Amino acid sequence: MAAPAGELFAARVGRLAIRSLYREVALDGKPGLVGPTGNGSHPDMDFTTFMRSLQALRGYFPAIAACGLQRPGFAPLRALGIAAEADMLAATAAVNTHRGAIFNLGLLCAALGVLQAEGAASSAEAACAVVRRCWGADILAGLSETSADAPLSHGLIVARRDGSGGARQEAASGFPAALNVGLPAYRAALAATGDGELAAMQALFALIAELEDTNLLWRGGRAGLDYGRRAAADFLAAGGVLAADWRTRAVGIDRDFVARRLSPGGSADLLGITLFLAELDGLA
Ligand SMILES: CC(C)(COP(=O)(O)OP(=O)(O)OC[C@H]1O[C@@H](n2cnc3c(N)ncnc32)[C@H](O[C@H]2O[C@H](COP(=O)(O)OP(=O)(O)OP(=O)(O)O)[C@@H](O)[C@H]2O)[C@@H]1O)[C@@H](O)C(=O)NCCC(=O)NCCS
Ligand SMILES: Nc1ncnc2[nH]cnc12
């Protein structure tokens, strides 16, 4: 018997989510980040840890897309996200690989479910607008909440110390960094080179240059964030991936990030989201 349409839809969304996260981690030479041939500023994880994490999340993205078909409030999405975090931590021996992605990409998968239920076409702009419209207020409420079951995260610590809205602000605002920075950089570099990996690298540097990445803030404070953003902006000003010597420059930035223990983990998550959004037009 054929699977119901909702199940097929959710499975398609889930496959796109996993593929986008795979493309992010498989991109080699990212500064300070884990890739297939290095672990950047992360002694506690490597490429295999990320593969285990992705395997553990295979069921989550279709499940949250299917939940979106019911046009849910925030509470059921949060419950799915918390369960997925537990699955991730069990698969990685308690290393945090995809916390941001579980949250960000989970919300976007649910948004696609809402659009499908409303009979609306899916696009990057429409999916981001659903997240803002349907769940933005509940997401922001979490910024001021702490309790025994919601202990202080690194993001909440830097929110209080440095006044950064972090992952919650980005999601509640409808992912402006992914829509207005990552996606245009990705599309322009893809048009110029025809190479998806080069385009992804350009998008990553564009995101690092602009984002208030709470991982950079957590690891390096305001000076670390400023350093990381300036290094990425200089890379782009020198031509980014269109410059003949871009790989040498990227290797130098990676070396500098590792020497300072800096990791742009939030920008890496938003690259995963950018790659997801780039494939949304026409996903029915
Ligand atoms: C709402 C949550 C995302 C929690 O957010 P919060 O800010 O309170 O908590 P964090 O634990 O800091 O996680 C946020 C992660 O989001 C990524 N991120 C950072 N900046 C941004 C940004 N500006 N925009 C978007 N996303 C951003 C980033 O994720 C990556 O970093 C992870 C590694 O982080 P961490 O362990 O802190 O780093 P290390 O430096 O390695 O630690 P040490 O070695 O020093 O110990 C990595 O996983 C990347 O993903 C931030 O870390 C959400 O998690 C939440 O509330 N969940 C509950 C479930 C829920 O509500 N779900 C809703 C429906 S899905
Ligand atoms: N490739 C990566 N390396 C380190 N942290 C990350 N968070 C998301 N992707 C990451």
58-85 pLDDT, tens digit per residue, is: 999 999 999 999 999 999 999 999 999 9
- Per-residue pLDDT band at 284 (split at 50, 70, 90): very low
Q: What is the pLDDT of residue 241?
A: 98
* Ligand 2 geometric centre to CA of 271 (Å): 10
Q: What is the pLDDT of residue 6?
A: 87
Ligand number nearest CA of 25 is 2
Domain span at residue 265 reads: 5-278
Half-sphere exposure at residue 216, Cβ-oriented, CA atoms within 13 angstroms: 28
Taking each continuous run of H as one helix and of E as one strand, the counts in the chain are 15, 0
Q: How far apart are CA 229 and CA 221, in angstroms?
A: 12
Task: Name the residue with higher pLDDT: 7 or 51.
Answer: 51
* Ligand 2 geometric centre to CA of 25 (Å): 7
Contact 266/225 with Cβ under 8 angstroms?
no
Q: What is the pLDDT of residue 153?
A: 86
Contact 135/142 with Cβ under 8 angstroms?
no
CB of 269 shorter than 6 A to ligand 1: yes
The residue assigned the tokens 């350009």 is 202
In a domain, 16, yes or no: yes
| Confidence (pTM) | 0.95
In a domain, 137, yes or no: yes
The residue assigned the tokens 């130098």 is 252
For residue 2, give both structure tokens.
């054929």
DSSP summary character for residue 122: P
CB of 269 shorter than 6 A to ligand 2: yes
Share of the chain above pLDDT 70, in %: 96
Ligand 1 atom nearest to CA at 106: 65
In a domain, 235, yes or no: yes
Asked whether the predicted pLDDT for residue 282 surpasses 60, the reply is no
Residue burial 36-67, b: 16+ Cβ < 10 Å; e: rest: eebbbbbeebbbebbbbbbebbeebbbbbbbb
Over residues 89-134, the pLDDT tens digits come to: 999 999 999 999 999 999 999 999 999 999 999 999 999 999 999 9
In a domain, 199, yes or no: yes
What total number of domains does the chain contain? 1
ipTM of the complex: 0.93
Q: How far apart are CA 174 and CA 220, in angstroms?
A: 27
**Lowest-confidence region among 42-46, 77-81, 161-165, 179-183:** 161-165
Rounded average pLDDT over 9-25: 97
Ligand 2 atom nearest to CA at 34: 3
Rounded average pLDDT over 48-53: 98
In a domain, 283, yes or no: no
In a domain, 284, yes or no: no
